[in-house]
Chain A
Amino acid sequence: MIRHLWPLLAGFTLWALAFILLYALQYLGCYFGWAPAAHRTALVVGYVMSLAALAGALLVQLALLRRRGSAATSLDRIGIGATIAALAATAVTFGPTLLASACI
């Protein structure tokens, strides 16, 4: 099942992992009292890593689509759409980690 569905699941699974990563970075930084500049740097690195992971997944899916040629299924193409949506969702929904107050 997963063998066939992974193109659909990959993007938003990575989005969910990015959510956990960034939330943990935000909480741990506040809990351990990291210096604000170091804390912000960690959040920005986490954000960029999340985008990079999604861009990587998208490239893999595109390469696979090209390799399969006419054997590509509609699931492959829908999966690419889902990963693009997840990439855009990551950029927008986690954007505030770059600017918003982390700790109070």
Chain B
Amino acid sequence: MSTLDPAGPAAADIATLWWVMFWGALVLFALVMALLVLSFLRPAMIASIRPIHWIIGGGLIMPVPILIALLMAALLLGEQLLPKPGGVQPMRVEAHASRWQWQFSYPETPGAATTEILHLPAGEPVDIVVTAADVIHAFWVPRLGGKIDAIPGHTNVIRLQADEPGVYRGICAEYCGEGHETMGFVVEAHSPADYATAIGGAQ
């Protein structure tokens, strides 16, 4: 269930962003540690740096480019995750949260419904329409991407894709009461033929 083991394009983008932030943070940590070590080994050298240079160097020149680069990376990767209108519209499935379980229905197959198992076709994007009955929940399948809030009275859409058939665990990612931690579900991604069978069995 690790976000660093992505199984689809949305999760891969998020994992890329995570690694960018990880290596960026590591470089900054190493820099701070080097300065700390220098302050013990070469105190005269550190003392020769004037306070205004610490403020301008450490407070502006170092963080501003890094934060702007991270902001741009997050925006560019984030844009790719959005279920934008226009173009080919992917298949839609509905995920409805209530205390404390997930119900899934499949508008393209009237009558098909599942509880705690979400069937998806593998290898194609799917728009998941997320709603809630009572309180705020959140839909999260770490290996596929996400997460997105399930809000009463509001409809949220998240576009996910499982590249390969397989089983991916999902959880409610917003604390929603005493049954919260049991509010898990499973995504079963099928090849096209298996998907038809699985959905047929859910009718």
B-chain residues with CB within 8 Å of residue A104 when the two chains form the complex? 82-85, 157
A101 near B68 (CB under 8 angstroms)? no
Chain B's closest residue to A95 (CB) is B71
B157 near A101 (CB under 8 angstroms)? no
CB distance from A40 to the nearest CB of B (A): 15
Size of the A side of the interface (Cβ < 8 Å), in residues, is 5
A interface secondary structure, majority? loop
Task: Confirm or deny: A56 has a beta carbon within 8 angstroms of a beta carbon on chain B.
Answer: no
B-chain residues with CB within 8 Å of residue A96 when the two chains form the complex? 71, 75
Task: Confirm or deny: B79 has a beta carbon within 8 angstroms of a beta carbon on chain A.
Answer: yes
A-chain residues with CB within 8 Å of residue B79 when the two chains form the complex? 100-101
A-chain residues with CB within 8 Å of residue B75 when the two chains form the complex? 96, 100
Task: Confirm or deny: A37 has a beta carbon within 8 angstroms of a beta carbon on chain B.
Answer: no
Contact with A along B70-86 (1 / 0, CB 8 A): 01000100110011110
- Residues of B whose CB lies within 8 Å of any CB of A are 68, 71, 75, 78-79, 82-85, 157
- Residues of A whose CB lies within 8 Å of any CB of B are 92, 96, 100-101, 104
